[in-house]
Amino acid sequence: MARDRSQTDPAVVVRDLSFQWADGTSVLKDCSLEVPSGEFWMLLGTNGSGKSTLLRILAGLLPVQSGEVRVRGRVGFVFQNPDHQLVMPTVGADVAFGLVEERLRVDRVRQRVAEALSVVNLDGLQQRPIYALSGGQKQRVAIAGAIARHCDILLLDEPTALLDPDSQLDLVERVKQLVEQRQMTALWVTHRLDELDYCDGAILLEGGKVVDRGDPQRLKHRFVNA
């Protein structure tokens, strides 16, 4: 049965958000947007448009200096380079690492780890050393960590930037399936226009402001012809 999202509050709401670095460089200027619950949206823009900064504010990695940010539910963040967030020596240990604060029983931790790795198609790799993984596998381990923590919102900062073309498409397809199967919300930062073919909606950021949002194909056309 299709979900009726018309009565559902947005998973992410940003109102008049501004941000600047300590040297006075302005990155976001009165930025406003919404991401519907249970959908896969992409954040599009050129380098320097403020995409990554916005995502880090949503994840709580940077402060809200001015404006309003509301995020409904637990957030999982996936860096562009997975080596920046994978901290344990093996796949299973890394996925379990984020569950420490929940003080779960050992059997429950094992169950969550196994379930999360199954979702990203890494079954049987719990003992695999992180260093032995491909870039695409590392990204999937990072996503599995968010799944194991039962995150409601997945924020991905150009997760395919370091991957080969085949791995890029595989990862975006898996995130799309994850959103549909787990009824999660995902916001994916990209500058690859072909990735817009997989999302429910897109947001175009220019000069630190949202200048358009809605149908991904329409935004793709606008971006190409800008």
pLDDT at site 12 = 96
pLDDT at site 33 = 95
Question: Which residues touch 9 (CB under 8 Å, ≥6 apart)?
Answer: 37, 72
118 pLDDT higher than 70: yes
DSSP letter for each residue of 178-207: HHHHHT-EEEEEE--GGGGGG-SEEEEEET
How many angstroms separate the Cα of 175 from the Cα of each of 38, 66, 178, 180, 207? Answer: 12, 31, 5, 9, 28
Q: Assign 3 a pLDDT band (cuts: 50, 70, 90).
A: very low
2 pLDDT higher than 50: no
Q: What is the mean pLDDT of the chain?
A: 89
88 pLDDT higher than 90: yes
pLDDT digits (tens, 9 = 90+) for 119-151: 888 988 999 999 999 888 998 899 899 889 889
pLDDT digits (tens, 9 = 90+) for 25-72: 999 999 999 999 999 999 998 888 899 999 999 999 999 999 999 999
pLDDT at site 1 = 34
Cα 89–Cα 95–Cα 96 angle in degrees, nearest 5? 95
The percent of residues in the chain predicted with pLDDT above 70, rounded, is 96
Distance between CA atoms of residues 156 and 187, nearest Å: 6
pLDDT at site 198 = 92
How many angstroms separate the Cα of 78 from the Cα of each of 68, 71, 105, 111, 210? Answer: 23, 16, 26, 22, 22
Question: Which residues touch 42 (CB under 8 Å, ≥6 apart)?
Answer: 187, 188, 189, 190, 195, 196, 199, 201, 202, 203, 216
Higher-pLDDT residue of 153, 9: 153
Q: Assign 4 a pLDDT band (cuts: 50, 70, 90).
A: very low
5 pLDDT higher than 70: no
**CB–CB of 143/176 below 8 Å?**
no
- Kindly state which CATH superfamily the domain 8-73+152-226 is placed in: P-loop containing nucleotide triphosphate hydrolases (3.40.50.300)
Distance between CA atoms of residues 159 and 224, nearest Å: 22
157 pLDDT higher than 80: yes
Conformational region of residue 9, where left means phi above 0, alpha means psi within -120 to 50, and beta covers everything else: beta
pLDDT at site 187 = 96
pTM for the full model?
Answer: 0.88
226 pLDDT higher than 70: no
pLDDT at site 204 = 92
Q: Which of 31-35, 159-163, 192-196 has the lowest mean pLDDT?
A: 159-163
